[in-house]
Amino acid sequence: MKLPAICLVLFTLLFSIVQPAQALSRGDDGAAANQPMPNRQLELQADCTYNQTIADLLNETTIEQYTDWIEKLSGEEPVLVRNGFAQILTRHTFAMFKGQPFPAGYEYVLETSQKYIPLVSQIEEDPFQIYSSIYGWYTAKNLVITYPGFGPNANQVVVFSAHLDSTSTQSQTLAPGAEDNASGSASLLEAVRLLRYYKFDRTIKVIWFTGEEQGLVGSEAYVSDHSTVDYVADVNLDMFGYDSNQDRCFELHVGTMDASDVIGVCFQDVIQDYSLDLSYDYIEDGATGASDHASFWAVNVGAVEVLENYYIHNLPNGCAGQDRNPHYHQITDTIDKMYLPAAFDIHRAGLGTLAGLAGPLGRCFDSPPQVQAAKTSSGIQLTWDALPEAGNYRIYRATNGCDGTFQRVAETSEPGWLDTSVVGGTEYSYRVEAVSESGTCISSMSSCATVLFIWRIILPVIIR
């Protein structure tokens, strides 16, 4: 989360971080000017009441995986990137993009997304220029993952956003940013892991912004460089999960735009209809502009911001007082300070809101391929029934059992494949997933088929 305006002035003097030339207009409370732009044509209509597809999606996300993402993003656990194992000790924007000693944050999110995304064309690295009085101009990047819509409103775009960058008093070497904002970035990683299995009416864009801590630079650049005429909503997750009194209360900053209220009401429906044990402040007047949702407000796109109980609002049925994280922008913003059960349910509420706004159309495939494996004289033959609307099938193989590490070994358009690169005396396990004809939607992974391969040795016949 970006510092409010007064604090940002002090931060600028201390750390020489300069805001971009075209910053959002802000008041003394840090709120962005929320003046709707005229002549916007699209009007968001969404039904976010109970839907079995959304229920299935929310049941597939797990607190274990969500926690693991936060641990990796905040340096608690090492990550594997192209250059080997690394520890993400800081995600400060300059550190991630100018070759500082610990630059693995952006690379990790990019490479993890590449593992889950069916088509390279779905991934956009969005560069922008950012200025520092210490380092001068340099190039940073936002990361954008697109899931094309499948319905009549496929031209409309729903954004699921969070800022990836972190900061602290030692920002170039140690800025774990577990709550601010690994909490939101982890939610986006879970979305990327799961959305590939589902179809939606509208197009979804999952966006990690950077440069947020320097004044929303990445998101401002994004809405400047991309036409947002077809954008209908942004669900922005920034800094949630600190909950010292464990009252499971957070803030939903909606603002005064009618389009934002549609998103806020959707959020409420999801919390109620999927029995998420959460309470919240629903903030319209006085909503903060100190995060990337404000860049969408500035171009008249409805947006909401999800935040810890940071302010005092005293709203009926809302949060009691204030429960602000004292480790905010400190080297002590680590995962042990978070109340993960509440953070996970807020994540689920955000994911469910995204799905509701996008319009769920069901799974990409009703069921995964049913794979059979058999030994032949030349290798291991895999077969499965062809699935309707499947364009290709991806084959994964492991040599350490069904719970082992699977590597993709082949892709075929046929409902079968012969593995000839096998070694005698080795047990091979296989899984297969189907890919839609569009290339952007996949089945869940098949059950595991295992074969112990033993070469058939034919002894020569000796005639005496």
- Element holding 192 (H helix, E strand): helix 183-195
* Per-residue buried b or exposed e for 341-363, using 16+ beta carbons within 10 Å of the residue's own CB: ebbbbbbbbbbbbbbbbbbbeeb
Average pLDDT over residues 208-219: 98
Give the per-residue pLDDT at 340: 98
The Cα 208–Cα 163 span in angstroms is: 5
Name the pLDDT band for 93 (thresholds 50, 70, 90): very high
Name the pLDDT band for 43 (thresholds 50, 70, 90): confident
**Of the candidates 68, 57, 70, 46, the residue with the CA atom closest to the CA atom of residue 349:** 57
Instruction: Report the number of distinct structural domains present in the chain.
Output: 2
- If asked whether residues 292 and 402 sit together in one domain, one would say no
Give the per-residue pLDDT at 318: 96
The Cα 453–Cα 422 span in angstroms is: 8
Q: Give yes or no for a contact between 421 and 453, defined as CB atoms under 8 angstroms apart.
A: no
Give the per-residue pLDDT at 419: 97
Average pLDDT over residues 98-127: 90
Share of the chain above pLDDT 70, in %: 88
Bridge partners (DSSP) of residue 442 are 435
List the domain range (segments joined by +) for residue 137: 5-363
Among residues 363, 389, 413, the one where a domain terminates is 363
The Cα 66–Cα 86 span in angstroms is: 20
pTM of the model: 0.90
- If asked whether residues 154 and 195 sit together in one domain, one would say yes
Q: Give yes or no for a contact between 103 and 164, defined as CB atoms under 8 angstroms apart.
A: no
Residues contacting 432, CB < 8 A, separation 6+: 368, 369, 371, 382, 384, 393, 394, 395, 396, 445, 446
Is 70 exceeded by the pLDDT of residue 174?
Answer: yes
Give 141-152 pLDDT, tens digit per residue. Answer: 999 999 999 999
Name the pLDDT band for 415 (thresholds 50, 70, 90): very high
Q: Give yes or no for a contact between 103 and 95, defined as CB atoms under 8 angstroms apart.
A: yes
Neighbours of 112 (CB within 10 A): 18
Among residues 309, 343, 363, the one where a domain terminates is 363
The Cα 228–Cα 116 span in angstroms is: 26
Higher pLDDT, 311 or 100: 311
- 81, part of any domain: yes
- If asked whether residues 59 and 195 sit together in one domain, one would say yes
The Cα 73–Cα 180 span in angstroms is: 11
Torsion angles phi and psi, residue 76, rounded to 5:
-70, -30
Name the pLDDT band for 132 (thresholds 50, 70, 90): confident
Is 70 exceeded by the pLDDT of residue 34?
Answer: no
- If asked whether residues 259 and 393 sit together in one domain, one would say no
Higher pLDDT, 57 or 100: 57
Is 80 exceeded by the pLDDT of residue 353?
Answer: yes
Give the per-residue pLDDT at 71: 98
The CATH number of whichever domain residue 395 belongs to comes to 2.60.40.10
CA-atom Rg of the chain in angstroms: 24
- Exposed/middle/buried for residue 400 (C-beta within 10 Å: 0-12, 13-18, 19+): exposed
The alpha carbon of residue 176 and the mean position of all alpha carbons in its chain are separated, in whole angstroms, by: 18
- 459, part of any domain: no
Dihedral, CA of residue 247, residue 252, residue 256 and residue 259, to nearest 10: -140
Name the pLDDT band for 14 (thresholds 50, 70, 90): very low
Q: Kindly list the distances between the CA atom of residue 34 and the CA atoms of 215, 228, 398, in Å, as whole numbers in the listed order.
A: 16, 17, 54
Tokens 């995986």, located at residue: 65
Give the per-residue pLDDT at 96: 95
Give 44-86 pLDDT, tens digit per residue. Answer: 999 999 999 999 999 999 999 999 999 999 999 999 998 889 9
Among residues 303, 330, 363, the one where a domain terminates is 363
**Mean pLDDT, the chain, integer:** 90
The CATH number of whichever domain residue 43 belongs to comes to 3.40.630.10
Give the per-residue pLDDT at 39: 45
- Element holding 253 (H helix, E strand): strand 249-253
Q: Give yes or no for a contact between 241 and 317, defined as CB atoms under 8 angstroms apart.
A: no
Name the pLDDT band for 101 (thresholds 50, 70, 90): low
Rounded to 5°, the CA angle 147-67-331 comes to 110
- If asked whether residues 204 and 183 sit together in one domain, one would say yes
Average pLDDT over residues 30-42: 44
End-to-end CA distance of the chain: 88
- 230, part of any domain: yes
Give the per-residue pLDDT at 246: 98
Token couple for 16: 């020489």
Give 280-337 pLDDT, tens digit per residue. Answer: 999 999 999 999 999 999 999 999 999 999 999 999 999 999 999 999 999 999 999 9
Residues contacting 70, CB < 8 A, separation 6+: 76, 178, 182, 183, 186, 335, 338
The Cα 418–Cα 118 span in angstroms is: 23
- If asked whether residues 128 and 11 sit together in one domain, one would say yes
- 462, part of any domain: no
Is 80 exceeded by the pLDDT of residue 42?
Answer: no
Name the pLDDT band for 103 (thresholds 50, 70, 90): low
- 461, part of any domain: no
Length of the chain: 464
Share of the chain above pLDDT 90, in %: 84
Name the pLDDT band for 102 (thresholds 50, 70, 90): low
The Cα 332–Cα 178 span in angstroms is: 9
The Cα 123–Cα 440 span in angstroms is: 11
